[in-house]
Amino acid sequence: MSSPTVLVHDDQALLAEAAAARLVTRIADAQAARGTASVVLTGGGVGTAVLAALAATGVRDAVDWGRLDMWWGDERFLPSGDPERNETGARQALLDHVPLDPARVHAMPAADGPDGDDPEAAAERYAAELRAAAGPGDGPVPAFDVLMLGVGPDAHVASLFPELPALRDEGAVAAVRGAPKPPPTRISLTFPSLRAADEVWLLAAGESKAKAIGLGLAPDADPFHVPCAGARGRSRTLFLLDRAAASELPPGTGRVTPS
């Protein structure tokens, strides 16, 4: 697992634009090297802003959208098209505006999907889809090129909330019940799946995230209590922050301030 690097931008708008530009480069590099790329999307304010920034930038044409797999780190277990679903936000912000191959858009099952209102079965279905896409050298999930995560004020990432059993789930995908943030029922990649990504990017903006980010970067943080401390990429972990979210970093945290 990689140690985090912290990058601080002036505000959320700049953070979203910079992350979008970074994402284009990372996808284009992977496609140049292997012919294909895979990205894991997040819901939440900054995650959706990054997708909207990507849709708005001319350099989006540097991506071969037909050779990109899109996955999700978590989903609110609601009916298809519900405005609270992370998928709905991602489609509106980006996916409806670029020529993706629909077969490579791997949305998590909805509560009115093939498994009905059964999040455990839906989680197992998504795990099977991930397993089927994994390469020979991979584990139970593909080696994603980039996995993005929003960070909640309680330090949750994906739908891994502090002290819930999903944090200790050794499978690839967990059903989550009793989430403190609505809706209570969700589906989430587990820590082992998040850590399969080559690069993990944690995105946070605003003062309400400062404490969680500070705790997540503390050297002795326990991911069971501070989930964002447990999300790390194999090659690289980036904390992409705005100034407000970076206002409570632990003393001695190295940071890069590009703007």
Ligand X SMILES: O=C1O[C@H](COP(=O)(O)O)[C@@H](O)[C@H](O)[C@H]1O
In the complex, the residues that contact ligand X under the rule CB under 6 A are: 42-47, 74, 76, 86, 149-150, 152, 158-159, 181
The least distance separating ligand X from the CB of residue 22, rounded to whole angstroms, comes to 18
Instruction: Judge contact between 16 and 201, C-beta under 8 A.
Output: no
The least distance separating ligand X from the CB of residue 35, rounded to whole angstroms, comes to 29
The least distance separating ligand X from the CB of residue 42, rounded to whole angstroms, comes to 4
Distance from C-alpha of 172 to C-alpha of 179, rounded to nearest angstrom? 19
Distances (CA, A) of 114 to 74, 103, 175: 18, 17, 15
CA nearest neighbour of 141 among 198, 76, 202, 77: 198
Nearer to ligand X, 34 or 225 (CB): 225
Nearer to ligand X, 17 or 31 (CB): 17
Nearer to ligand X, 141 or 254 (CB): 141
Nearer to ligand X, 116 or 182 (CB): 182
Distance from C-alpha of 220 to C-alpha of 228, rounded to nearest angstrom? 13
Distance from C-alpha of 144 to C-alpha of 31, rounded to nearest angstrom? 13
Nearer to ligand X, 87 or 124 (CB): 87
Distances (CA, A) of 3 to 11, 135, 230: 24, 26, 11
Distance from C-alpha of 108 to C-alpha of 87, rounded to nearest angstrom? 8
The least distance separating ligand X from the CB of residue 163, rounded to whole angstroms, comes to 16
The least distance separating ligand X from the CB of residue 135, rounded to whole angstroms, comes to 26
Nearer to ligand X, 67 or 211 (CB): 211
The least distance separating ligand X from the CB of residue 152, rounded to whole angstroms, comes to 5
Distance from C-alpha of 33 to C-alpha of 228, rounded to nearest angstrom? 30
